[in-house]
Amino acid sequence: MRITDAARIDEYYRALLTRDSQYLGSFVVGVTTTGICCLPTCRARKPRPEHTEFFHTVGDALRAGYRPCKICRPTEGAGTPPPAVRRALEMAVAAHDQRLTDTDLRRAGIGPDAVRRWCKAHLGFTFHGYQRMLRVNAAYRSLALGTSVTDTAFATGYESLSGFRQRFEAMVDAPPSEIGRHEVIRFQRLETPLGPMLACATDRGLCLLEFTDRRMLETQIRTLTTRLGARMLAGEHPFLDRIACELREYFDGTRTTFDVPLDQPGTPFQTAVWGELTRIPYGETRSYAEQASALGRPTAVRPVAAANGRNRIAIVVPCHRVIGSDGSLTGYGGGLARKRWLLEHERRVSSR
């Protein structure tokens, strides 16, 4: 469906000019002079406003006769790895006990430069750094099960004990002999229609789920690791698999509640505020004042709003369902465009 609201079109054009990633999923732009459609973050030269049309989805743009852009590839989803990069990441997971070289990638028909660029842009570290994280993660699990340092080092592909100890301590900030004294948080990057999210889990439950472009993300991670006395490691975890599945169902419109266990360290007041958020029904909204009253603290509107802002588990703990008393969309860490999309999505699903 073509977007016709003038105010919305002006907002989206400004987002297009700044490549604002918070608008991923909110619109697709069609360029009338070229006949292509692009994501809000596309690196291509920006068209003049009179040469643009805005659509809700890629499908709407394709049905209007536009072709997908070869630069931002809107049909593949924002941040989704190209097939060759995805294959390289899968190879790294399958071979976590040995290091894949550029030669190994070329033998598999994969260009190392493309993999390197994508990893740096979307993961924040190199492909070889990703492999090192996987190996250290495997070593951490092995040590936690009681395997000796020597056996763990050689089983995970290290050629010397000194090299293993040095690499392990650099990434975990603790020597291998101290494993078991520290909590570990596993993290993965998840793709969503609104852009990539970072998911983190302990053995108790999901402890963080945030859009990767959220400005407070680093602060949230520091607070979380400090409270838990934990170390962050890339890797797999059953709760990460579970939230990935539940998020897909949520965005598909087949899930309205989440079942994944949560691990939310916070003050007693924050814990109460976050618990009240989970009681707001799917497809409905509450004002900050209503939320404060429900907590038995009707004058604590500002503290409630501040606690909402410190929620580390987006969507699952639905702070996006809290709006201003006048119905305005206020304060959302993932950006107001995403908040609008989430509320509209839930209303559409609820009205079926």
Report the catalytic residues. 319
Joined tokens for residue 192: 């969503």
Please provide the size of the chain in residues: 352
Q: How far is CA 183 from CA 86, 178, 224, in A?
A: 30, 11, 11
Residue 323 β-bridge partners: 287
Residues 234 and 126: their CA atoms lie apart, in Å, by 13
Q: Is 9 helix (H, G, I), strand (E, B) or coil?
A: helix
CB of 157 within 8 A of CB of 98? yes
